[in-house]
Chain A
Amino acid sequence: MTHQPLVKIYLYSKFERFWHWVQSALIILLLVTGFEVHGSFAWLGFMAAVDLHNTIGLTWLILFVFIVFWLFVTGEYKQYIPTTRKLLEVVRYYASGIFRGEPHPVRKSRVAKHNPMQRLTYLGLTAVLLPVQMATGLLYWSYNDWPAWGLDGFLSLKVLALVHLIGGFAILIFLIVHVYMTTTGHTVTAHIAAMFSGWEEVPEGEEVEDWERMSERR
C-alpha cells in the first residue's frame, strides 16, 4: 500500500448514498426472488417470491425515475461519459500493479469520481442493463394486458423471460465483482465506509487531469 498521506474529500452526496444502498437492497432482493421464480431454488414459495419481486421491481422503477432526474439536474451524468484514456492503465493496475503495491493510476476526486473502467461499467449498467431489466420486467408483469394493448401479436413471454434471465445473471456477476472491488481501497473497508459517510480518503496532492474533470457548472 502507498505511504502517501491521505486527505478526505466529500465524494458521495446524501442522495447518492441513499440511492446506492436502497438500490443495493432492492437488487439483492430482486435477484433472490427472481431466481426463485425462475425455479432455481425454493425459499419463500412461488407466490410470495412473485409478489415480492413485483413489488420491489415497481419500487425500483420509482427510485430509478428519481435517480435519472437527479443525474440530469445536477449534471452528474457527465461522470458516466465513457473514455478509453487510461483505461489500459487501470486494467493493468488491477491485473498486476495492485499486487506490487503501486498507486492507483486514476485518483478519485469530486469532479471525477469514477475511473475509466468504472465509467464504462456504470454506464453499461445504468443506461443499458438496468433499463433492459426494467422494460422486460414491466412487460413480463403486464403479461395479461398484452391482448388489450395489442402486444400479444409480436411479444413472446418465452423470449422476454430469456432476456430478463440473462440480465439477471449479468447483474449477479456484476454484484459479485463490485462487492469484491470495494475491498481494494487503502484498507479493505475504506470504500464501503466512504459509501456510508460520503467521505473518501484519497492520496494527497495529486492533481486531477483536465480530461477527467467534468465540466463544472457555472
Chain B
Amino acid sequence: MDCLVCHEQTGTYRKFPSGAGYPAPYVEDPANPGTQKGVPFPGESKSYFAPDWSRVAQSVARPSRMNCGTCHFYGGGGDAVKHGDLDSTMGRPPKTLDVHMGTRESGGQDFTCVRCHTTHSHHIAGRIYETPAAAERKSLLQDDLGDKILCESCHGTEPHQSGGMSDKINDHTDTVSCQACHIPEFARAQSTKMWWDWSKAGQLMDGKEVVMGPDGKSVFDRKKGEFRWEKNVVPEYYWFDGTLDHVTVADPIDPTAEVWLNRPQGSADDPNSRIMPFKVHRAMAPYDKVNKVMVIPHLFPFNKDDDTAYWKGYDWNRAIEVGMEKAGQPYSGEYGFVETTYVFPTTHMVAPKNEALPCEACHSRQSRLAGITEVYMPGRDTFAMVDAAGWVGVTGAMVAVIIHGLMRFVSGLRRKEE
C-alpha cells in the first residue's frame, strides 16, 4: 500500500498493471514532446500514464469512497467480482442503494467509508477476521477507536421507535442482525459474480477466448473459466459471531463434498451470535488429489518469458507446481477440481427502511430462514401431525353438524306429513 492510493483526490493515480504495482513510468510521446505516450498492457485495452505527481501529491485529503473503492470495489479481478455489497456503483450511490452512503441529492447521508470505518493512527475499524465481533462490540460514541463496528455501534440495540410492534422488532436484535432485514437483496445496481468454474479455463468457448454475457460482463474467459453473474441476489443466512473460519492451503479438505473455504462461526446458543446475511460465492477450484488440500496456482507471469504461469502456458500442473513451491507447500503432481464456497458477510447496500423485509419473509412457510433450524419461528414452523389432526377434527365437526342438521330437517318434514 502506498499513501496516495488512499489519499489522493484527483482520480488520476492509477497503478500498473491491473491496478496493482506502481504507476506507469513517464514515456514521452516522440511525436508530441512534453506529453505522454502511455504504456499499454497486453490484455487491457487502455494505456497507463504516469501521474502528474505534484498535482496528485497536493490533492491529498481524507479518503473518499473512490479511494477505498479502488481496491475494494474491484476485488477478485474486476468490478463486483468479490463483494455483492461493494462495487463501483457504491462510489456515488443513490439513497435507494445505500441509505448511509447515498448522495445528498438522492436523500442519503453521503457517508464516506471512513465515516464508519473510523481510524486511529491508520488502524481502520470494521474488519472481520479472527476477533469475535460481539465480544468487543463498542459504541462509537463511547469509544471512537473500537476495532469492530456494527450497526449497533451507532444505532444501539433498540433502533426502532418504541411502542407497539416496534418493540417486537427491537426484541429481535438479540438474534437477528440488522443487515438480515435491512439488506433484502445485494448487488442491486449491477450483477455480482456468483459462480466461477476454473475447470473450464484453458479452453475456448465457441471458438472465442472471451464470451460476454447479456449484462456486458464476461461469462467465459479462457484465463479464468466460466462465470455466472446475478443481480438482486437474496442472501443466504447463517449464525455469525463476527468471525470466519478459513481453510488454508495447509488444511486437509474433503473433496467428496462442497468445500467451505471459509465458514461463518457462531451458533444459536451463543448470545453473541446473530443471524447474518451472506453472499455465498461458489466455484470449481483446483486441489491436490493426493494430499487433499487446496492449491495455489501461479497465474500471473513473473516476466515476459515465464510460461509456467497459467495465464501464459495454460498448464495447470506446472502452474500449481510453481505456485505451491513459491508458497513452500508440497504438491503431489495430481490435481483435480472441487466445488468450493466462499462467504462474504453482507453489510453494505442498506436499503431505505420502507424496503426492509416484511415479517413474512421469514415468518412464513416460504421462509428465507429455512436453514436456521435451531429456533422455533411462528409462521414458519408447524407440527404436521397436530395440524393434520386439528383440521381433521374441525372438518369432522363441520360434517357432523351438517349431517345432524339435515337429519333434523328431514325428520321434521316427515313428522309434519304424518
Q: List residues of chain B with CB within 8 A of the CB of A184.
A: 408
**Contact A158-B165, Cβ < 8 Å, known A46-B363, A173-B397:** no
Counting CB contacts under 8 A, is B386 at the interface?
yes
Stretch at the interface among B206-214, B303-311, B373-381: B373-381
How many residues from B make CB contacts under 8 Å with A? 37
Q: Is the CB of A162 within 8 A of B359?
A: no
Q: Is the CB of B358 within 8 A of A162?
A: no
Q: Is the CB of A180 within 8 A of B404?
A: yes
Interface string of B384-402 (1 = CB under 8 A from A): 0011011101100110110
Q: How far is the CA of A27 from the CA of B57 in the complex (A)?
A: 74
Complex partner residue of B378 from A94, A161, A169, CB under 8 angstroms: A161
Counting CB contacts under 8 A, is A67 at the interface?
no
Q: Is the CB of B376 within 8 A of A161?
A: yes
**Contact A51-B408, Cβ < 8 Å, known A46-B359, A161-B378, A176-B398:** no
- With both beta carbons as reference points, the residue of chain A lying nearest to B375 in the complex is identified as A157
Q: Is the CB of B408 within 8 A of A99?
A: yes
Q: Is the CB of B378 within 8 A of A38?
A: yes
Q: How far is the CA of A184 from the CA of B405 in the complex (A)?
A: 9
Complex partner residue of A47 from B165, B389, B393, B411, CB under 8 angstroms: B165
Q: Is the CB of A39 within 8 A of B365?
A: yes
Counting CB contacts under 8 A, is B153 at the interface?
no
Counting CB contacts under 8 A, is B127 at the interface?
no
- With both beta carbons as reference points, the residue of chain B lying nearest to A177 in the complex is identified as B397
Q: Is the CB of A46 within 8 A of B364?
A: yes
How many residues from A make CB contacts under 8 Å with B? 34
Counting CB contacts under 8 A, is B53 at the interface?
no
**Contact A158-B381, Cβ < 8 Å, known A39-B363, A45-B360, A169-B394:** yes
Q: Is the CB of A42 within 8 A of B360?
A: yes
Q: Is the interface of B mostly helix, strand, loop or mixed?
A: helix
Complex partner residue of A166 from B375, B390, B411, B415, CB under 8 angstroms: B390
Counting CB contacts under 8 A, is B382 at the interface?
yes
Q: List residues of chain A with CB within 8 A of the CB of B415.
A: 100-101
CB proximity of A10 to chain B, nearest CB, Å: 28
Q: Is the CB of B407 within 8 A of A99?
A: yes
CB proximity of B184 to chain A, nearest CB, Å: 16
CB proximity of A169 to chain B, nearest CB, Å: 4
Q: List residues of chain A with CB within 8 A of the CB of B400.
A: 177
Q: How far is the CA of A76 from the CA of B354 in the complex (A)?
A: 53
**Contact A45-B359, Cβ < 8 Å, known A165-B386, A169-B390, A177-B397:** yes
Complex partner residue of A180 from B363, B382, B405, CB under 8 angstroms: B405
**Contact A38-B379, Cβ < 8 Å, known A46-B363, A47-B358:** yes
Q: How far is the CA of A46 from the CA of B172 in the complex (A)?
A: 15
Q: Is the CB of B405 within 8 A of A172?
A: no
Counting CB contacts under 8 A, is B325 at the interface?
no
Counting CB contacts under 8 A, is B171 at the interface?
yes
Q: Is the CB of B386 within 8 A of A166?
A: yes
Q: List residues of chain A with CB within 8 A of the CB of B164.
A: 51
Q: Is the CB of A173 within 8 A of B381?
A: no
Complex partner residue of A144 from B171, B359, B378, B386, CB under 8 angstroms: B171
Q: Is the CB of B397 within 8 A of A39?
A: no
Interface string of A21-36 (1 = CB under 8 A from B): 0000000000000000
Q: Is the CB of A158 within 8 A of B376?
A: yes
Q: Is the CB of A46 within 8 A of B360?
A: yes
Q: List residues of chain B with CB within 8 A of the CB of A162.
A: 383, 386
Counting CB contacts under 8 A, is B104 at the interface?
no
Q: How far is the CA of A172 from the CA of B390 in the complex (A)?
A: 9
Q: How far is the CA of A101 from the CA of B376 in the complex (A)?
A: 52
Counting CB contacts under 8 A, is A189 at the interface?
no
Q: Is the CB of B394 within 8 A of A176?
A: yes
Q: List residues of chain B with CB within 8 A of the CB of A38.
A: 378-379, 382
Counting CB contacts under 8 A, is B34 at the interface?
no
Q: How far is the CA of A166 from the CA of B383 in the complex (A)?
A: 10
CB proximity of A35 to chain B, nearest CB, Å: 10
Counting CB contacts under 8 A, is B42 at the interface?
no
Q: List residues of chain A with CB within 8 A of the CB of B381.
A: 158, 161
Please provide the chain A residues from 64 to 109 with a CB less than 8 Å away from any CB of chain B in the complex.
Answer: 94, 98-101
CB proximity of A31 to chain B, nearest CB, Å: 10
Q: List residues of chain B with CB within 8 A of the CB of A7.
A: none
Q: List residues of chain B with CB within 8 A of the CB of A100.
A: 411, 415
Q: Is the CB of B405 within 8 A of A1?
A: no
Q: Which 8 A/B pairs are nearest by Cβ-Cβ distance?
A: A169-B390, A180-B401, A46-B359, A158-B376, A99-B411, A144-B171, A39-B379, A176-B397
- Some 29 contacts from A to B, beta carbons below 8 A apart, are A1-B412, A37-B378, A38-B378, A38-B382, A39-B378, A42-B360, A42-B364, A45-B358, A45-B359, A46-B358, A46-B360, A47-B165, A47-B359, A99-B408, A100-B415, A101-B412, A143-B171, A156-B376, A158-B381, A161-B376, A161-B381, A165-B383, A169-B390, A169-B391, A172-B394, A176-B397, A180-B404, A180-B405, A184-B408
Residues of B within 8 A of A (CB): 164-165, 168, 171, 174, 358-360, 363-365, 375-376, 378-383, 386-387, 389-391, 393-394, 397-398, 400-401, 404-405, 407-408, 411-412, 415
Q: 20 additional contacts, CB 8 Å, given A39-B378, A42-B364, A158-B376?
A: A39-B379, A46-B363, A50-B378, A94-B404, A98-B408, A100-B411, A161-B376, A162-B383, A165-B383, A165-B386, A166-B386, A168-B390, A169-B386, A169-B390, A169-B393, A169-B394, A176-B394, A176-B398, A177-B401, A180-B401
